Amino acid sequence: MNKLLKTLPEGDLSIGHCSNSTIDDATFAPDFTILHPQTGQIMYWEHFGLMEDEKYLNDFSHKIMCYAKNQIYLGENLIATFETSDCPLDYQSINNKIKQFLK
């Protein structure tokens, strides 16, 4: 998560942390909310950093389904980054996500 925070451009994006939300009896909060600087669209950013853990993977699947039920869609208004111990998140991947978002 620290790597993600260090990479986000200062001043270009309005970035905040979400409070807890309850969707389908599951309570969670996205890691970040981001306000698009030109369109004003609110985006949610989730970093899934333990993808090799089976329980975490199941929780991830449930979370994505809950988001979709609430019109929060991966690739539209939900940005996601992933990593495992064998495949850590790198700065280039984060920068690519930001560039894709700012199109």
- Going by pLDDT thresholds of 50, 70 and 90, the confidence category of residue 1 is very low
pLDDT tens, 7-26? Answer: 555 545 555 555 566 656 66
HEC profile for 83-98?
CCCCCCCCHHHHHHHH
Q: How many CB atoms lie within 10 A of CB 53?
A: 13
Q: Beta 42-48 vs 78-82: how paired, if at all? A: parallel
Q: Is the pLDDT of residue 40 over 80?
A: yes
Q: Is the pLDDT of residue 27 over 60?
A: yes
Kindly state the tokens that stand for 45.
Answer: 């950013």
pLDDT tens, 51-86? Answer: 888 888 888 888 888 888 888 898 888 888 888 889
Rounded alpha-carbon distances, angstroms, from residue 44 to 19, 50, 52, 54, 85: 12, 19, 23, 24, 24
Domains of the chain, by residue range, sit at 2-7+19-101
